Amino acid sequence: MGQVKLITKYFETPGCEKLPVFESVGGYSRLRRIVEEEWTGEKIIATLKASSLRGLGGAGFPTGMKWGFVPKDAEPPKYLVVNADESEPGTFKDRHIIMRAPHLLIEGLTIAALAVGAHEVFVYIRGEYWEPYRVLKNALDEARKAGYVGDRIMGSGRSVHVTVHRGAGAYICGEETALLTSLEGYKGWPKLKPPFPAVKGLFRRPTLVNNVETLSYVPVVLDIGPEEFAKVGIERNGGARLFGVSGHVNRPGIYECALGTPMREVIYDLAGGIRGGKKLKAVIPGGSSCPVLTPAEIDVSLDFDSLAKLGSMLGSGGMIVMDEDTDLVKVLYRICKFYSNESCGQCTPCREGTGWMTRIMERVYRGNGTSQDLDNLVDIAEMIGGNTICPLGDAASLPVMSFIRKFRPEFEARLSRKYVPSGEIASPGAEGATR
């Protein structure tokens, strides 16, 4: 367990965003093997299944199984959609991959398209990611000219066309069905499930939706072999993933670790521990929607199942570390603001509940709340969670429940002290205007 160099080895190769450099370190050799050896979709999917690779966008669903859901006998068109709408606060891994190893993603998505029989691939990239978009477009042009994507790839009879689509800047468009709605040209609203995208996705056609990081691990799996990849991680959690460590650590950044690595090792060994020698106060393990952990919980193994047992989530791997000086009331208020701002507005509990929680949190943060407000917040969060069309409701409610339950004394202290940090918050009018 610990740090590995499966994807990050490409990061450490200077100029790897350029095709010749990428090829010099084995780039596109996996795709070439699949094309030249005429691998069937079933064989690619079986290989993925054997690797135990899980979806690294946040949900952690077994990748090979997800690929297998796309009906292989369905008439074309079938689509592959790459979710590059990385918007979860605390998460920045996909940006690194696209910026520093875009060809790895292109190789992975081409293999995935061949596996499920998709001829059209759409990369839905976060609108704010202008520079990654530019890098990816350049890389795609190179790959197209070299025959890795486009018509009759590498001289074979198979074609994979790739289109990069920039989102207009809505967090919800990272949710796979909202992403598809947005890609179809509508307001980015999640769809009711079933049907699932694998059966009826983009334009009601079978569609595989995968995250950038997941697809970037596909060439790695084929490179080292699925069994070896699985052995990197632990049972049911194959391989490794990129952990984006941010917050009050000495060396924030991207660390690639085997699944199963203890969180303590990532924070204290790789990221250099808490800055200024201060004490750790709290960690959000996988993006702002994941329930917060206390210092007593950081010996948890970083894998999907262990964090679920602890009542939290591995999520996107965006680890937000907070030291003893952190104002958790303010943190939660900020998180609430984010989710209420980004709620798509489609279903009632999320639309109304997230805004309501934010306004209560604003009062609590200003020191004008009551203990009853804290109870109400937990109750409201409970009633949002699980009752919405998409997981944004859960994403908004889980932090509220976990922060208040685990750090209630801090919230109570804020209420009794009537404490308002000076200069940290503008007048109510100006604050309201930002929403």
Partner 1 sequence: MSGGETKMVKTTIDGREYEFAEGATILEAARSVGIMIPHYCYHPGLSIAGACRMCLVEIEKIPKLQISCYMTVGEGMVVHTDTERVKRARKSILEFHLVNHPTDCPVCDQAGECGLQEYYMLHGLYTSRIRENKVRKTKKAFPVGPNIMLDQERCILCSRCVRFCREVSKSHELGMFKRGDREVIDTFSGRQVDNPYAGNVVDICPVGALTSRDSRFKTRSWYQQTAESVCPRCSRGCNIFIHYNIKRPWKNEGRKVVRLKPRFNAEVNKWWICDEGRFCFKYIDDPDRLSAPLRRVDGASETIDWPAALAIAAERMLAAASAQERDLAVLVSPQASNEELFLLKKVCDERLPGWRAAFSAATPFEPTEDDFLRRADKNPNTFGARALGLGEDKSMDLAQLKRAALEGRIGTLLVCYTDLTGLTGEAGQGWDAALEKVDTLIYLGHNDCATAQRADLVLPAATFAEREGTVTNFEGRIQLQRRAFDPAGESLPGWEILRRLGETLGGEYEFEGPEQVFQRLAETVPQLAGLSYESIGPAGCPVKK
Q: Which residues bind partner 1 (CB under 8 A)?
A: 170, 172, 187, 192, 340-349, 351-356, 359-360, 363, 376, 380, 383, 386-389, 435
How far is the C-alpha of 259 from the C-alpha of 235, rounded, in Å?
Answer: 9
How far is the C-alpha of 196 from the C-alpha of 70, rounded, in Å?
Answer: 10
Of residues 177, 120, 122, 126, the one with CA closest to residue 150: 120
How far is the C-alpha of 3 from the C-alpha of 138, rounded, in Å?
Answer: 30
Residue closer to partner 1 by CB (options 253, 311) is: 311
State the nearest-atom distance from the C-beta of 346 to partner 1, in Å: 5
State the nearest-atom distance from the C-beta of 316 to partner 1, in Å: 21
Residue closer to partner 1 by CB (options 194, 409) is: 194
Q: Compute the residue count for the chain.
A: 435
Residue closer to partner 1 by CB (options 155, 185) is: 185
The residue ranges of DSSP E strands in 248-405, in sequence order, are 253-258, 280-284, 318-323
Residue closer to partner 1 by CB (options 80, 347) is: 347
* C-alpha separations of 126 from 53, 81, 88, 420 in Å: 24, 13, 11, 35
State the nearest-atom distance from the C-beta of 384 to partner 1, in Å: 8
Q: Which DSSP state fits 152?
A: S
Cβ-proximal residues to 206 (8 Å cutoff; 6+ apart), any chain = 70, 71, 74, 78, 79, 116, 197, 198, 199, 200
Token look-up 């520093």 returns: 100
Q: Which two tokens stand for residue 272?
A: 């250099």
State the nearest-atom distance from the C-beta of 396 to partner 1, in Å: 10
CA atoms within 13 A on the CB side of 293: 29
Residue closer to partner 1 by CB (options 44, 347) is: 347
Residue closer to partner 1 by CB (options 348, 371) is: 348
State the nearest-atom distance from the C-beta of 194 to partner 1, in Å: 9
State the nearest-atom distance from the C-beta of 344 to partner 1, in Å: 6
State the nearest-atom distance from the C-beta of 329 to partner 1, in Å: 17
Residue closer to partner 1 by CB (options 187, 231) is: 187
- Sheet containing 318-323: which strands, arranged edge to edge? 253-258, 240-247, 318-323, 280-284
